[in-house]
Structure 1
Amino acid sequence: MTVEVMDVDVNFETGENMVFQAKKADMRPMQVMDDAIGEDDELEDEENDLLDEQVLTLCDSCWALVEMTLHDSAVVGGIVSAGLCPRLVELLYISQSSIILAPVLRLLGNIVSAEISFSQAVIEAKLLEVIPSVMTTTSRAVREEACWMLSNIAGGQEEQVVAIMNAPGVIAGLVEQMSWAEYGVKREATWAMCNIIVRANVEFIKEAVRMGVLQSFCPLLDEWEDPMVELVILEAIESLLQKDPQEGRIAVEESGCLAKIEELSYDQNDDVSSMASQLIDTWFDNEGDEADSSLAPAVVGTEQTGEALNFQPVQGDVQFNFNQS
């Protein structure tokens, strides 16, 4: 059978610089190597060559589907309807190569971004169970794609956010990437965590604070000057304070985030400075006034002005020591 296919010239790990050329090709089933491979070097070389060819073909196919899902939403529905989600997730389990992992994760990310029901289909295909191991790879591109996909899932329904929170190792993996990873990975991991915090309960937020999430926010509020990320973090901090005002204020201050927020209140970006100022005015600006209220004199009425200062008497005995040493 002859069909129209796409020949892709890409950076296999990142998917950048894609050049698509339409051509005719014969679709054929992938050859299966015999399980019993002898000791003959020629057979081993043939197997390696075949596997390399298969890997590159699979990589090309995934990047082609990625491009198609960007331009035609119906393709995403077709992938899900055809039952390909479990197969794509399976590739994350069996492959260690970033050449395969990066395009598969990008394709899955496009799928979960399309519709909430598609996100559920990917979750049911056991995606979250394999994500912790994916995030341990040395490939920056793979870790960035994984975190980006999680942020898209976390932007969905509450049940999907709960699935992320309950999946073993996923939250710990995000926190780890937030603490040390390259900026692109750190940015996506932070975005995912902020999406989760906004929808999470108090118990989860307390655990996230204990794991050091707020400390990981600080560099992104200070060093990188990325207004979009700063706004996402400020929104997450606001949600944290709304859900746990007492302990939340202490945690934000002790983590160093409050100092960064105060600096952002003078930021050149109007949206960032406005939100930072609002957080300070709402949650932190009255702390000093409350602490010193006992020192202020009370106000009582008078005939002339209607108000007067009424100083409180000193409690207890007052002793004066006039002895000079």
Structure 2
Amino acid sequence: MQCVIDHQALPCLLNLLTTNHKKSIKKEACWTISNITAGNRDQIQAVIQANIIGPLVHLLQGAEFDIKKEAAWAISNATSGGTHDQIKYLVAQGCIKPLCDLLICPDPRIVTVCLEGLENILKVGEAEKNLGAGDVNNYAQMIDDAEGLEKIENLQSHDNTEIYEKAVKMLESYWLEEEDEVMPSGDNAQNGFNFGSQQNSVPSGGFNFG
């Protein structure tokens, strides 16, 4: 993929994303970009510097599903291998809402890809919080605002084991702590979640932070 970058393919790919080409061409362009963002941080940075992320997010938001799928891979791959600053840039370009929107799509592989992307974003938000940037994970709040939290909660009843396990893990890791802080004390607390040493600590109906 470095060879592709070295031969100035990124400006061409940007053109394919932003001009009125047919669906199949845009889909292949997104697929090619997803292979580049699966590379190292320098390759992800090259995609960022080519101003491709904004148009990619635009397609992720409003294109046909076949294009959205490839765009989701491209963004999720970038969150997987990117630096914290690169991931913060993806968020600034508006990637959270379209990733959340795809959590209800019928393709379990794409749901997983979007969950992984959101989880990588949440990790950065948690790191920022721990650096003293505030008391809350801002990206968790943004996902909630984008109706993503509700969608993640609903995935606890998904048929796909990998999806529901990842949803439960994300809810435990990034939203339960916040819920604990407002948990009633005393006798009423008995109705709360129990995350002690018991194996079956997840309520049968899953978590609901709505």
Same fold flag (TM > 0.5): yes
Instruction: Choose between structure 1 and 2: higher helix proportion.
Output: 2
**d(CA) in 2 for partners of 1:151 and 1:212?**
17
Q: 2:113 matched to 1:232?
A: yes
**d(CA) in 1 for partners of 2:42 and 2:174?**
30
- Aligned residue in 2 for 1:159: 42
> Deviating runs (4+, > 4 A) in structure 1?
none
1:76-135 CA distance string (max 9 Å, x none):
xxxxxxxxxxxxxxxxxxxxxxxxxxxxxxxxxxxxxxxxxxx11111000012211111
Q: 2:177 matched to 1:286?
A: yes
1:60-82 CA distance string (max 9 Å, x none):
xxxxxxxxxxxxxxxxxxxxxxx
| TM-score, scaled relative to structure 2 | 0.78
- Aligned residue in 2 for 1:78: none
Q: Percent identity of the aligned residues? A: 29
Determine which of 265, 280, 297 is the counterpart of 2:156.
265
**d(CA) in 2 for partners of 1:156 and 1:126?**
17
Q: Which runs of 5+ in 1 are unaligned?
A: 1-118, 298-325
**d(CA) in 1 for partners of 2:139 and 2:186?**
28
Instruction: Choose between structure 1 and 2: higher strand proportion.
Output: 1
Instruction: Name the SS for the 2:172 alignment partner.
Output: helix
User: Which amino acid counterpart does residue 255 of structure 1 have in structure 2?
Assistant: A
1:16-57 CA distance string (max 9 Å, x none):
xxxxxxxxxxxxxxxxxxxxxxxxxxxxxxxxxxxxxxxxxx
Contact 1:137–1:143 (CA<8 Å) still a contact in 2? no
Give the Å deviation of 1:296.
Answer: 4.9
Determine which of 47, 50, 53 is the counterpart of 1:171.
53
User: Which amino acid counterpart does residue 75 of structure 2 have in structure 1?
Assistant: M
Instruction: Name the SS for the 1:286 alignment partner.
Output: helix
| TM-score, scaled relative to structure 1 | 0.51
Give the Å deviation of 1:291.
Answer: 2.5
Determine which of 126, 141, 147 is the counterpart of 2:8.
126
**d(CA) in 1 for partners of 2:42 and 2:171?**
32
Matched positions, count: 176
Give the Å deviation of 1:286.
Answer: 2.6
Of structures 1 and 2, the one with the larger relative CO (CA 8 A, separation 6+) is 2
**d(CA) in 2 for partners of 1:130 and 1:266?**
43
User: Which amino acid counterpart does residue 185 of structure 1 have in structure 2?
Assistant: I
- Aligned residue in 1 for 2:66: 184
**d(CA) in 2 for partners of 1:255 and 1:277?**
19
**d(CA) in 1 for partners of 2:81 and 2:125?**
13
Q: Which runs of 5+ in 2 are unaligned?
A: 127-136, 188-210
Contact 2:40–2:81 (CA<8 Å) still a contact in 1? no
CA RMSD of aligned residues (A): 1.7
Q: 2:96 matched to 1:214?
A: yes
- Aligned residue in 1 for 2:145: 254
Contact 1:152–1:192 (CA<8 Å) still a contact in 2? yes
**d(CA) in 1 for partners of 2:114 and 2:172?**
17
Q: How does 1:1-325 map to 2 (within 5 A)?
A: 119-135=1-17, 136-167=19-50, 169-222=51-104, 224-245=105-126, 246-292=137-183, 296=186
Give the Å deviation of 1:257.
Answer: 1.1
Larger of the two Rg values belongs to structure: 1
Contact 1:144–1:184 (CA<8 Å) still a contact in 2? yes
**d(CA) in 2 for partners of 1:195 and 1:296?**
45
Give the Å deviation of 1:247.
Answer: 1.4
**d(CA) in 2 for partners of 1:158 and 1:215?**
24
Q: Compare 248-257 and 272-281 and name the one that shifted more.
A: 248-257
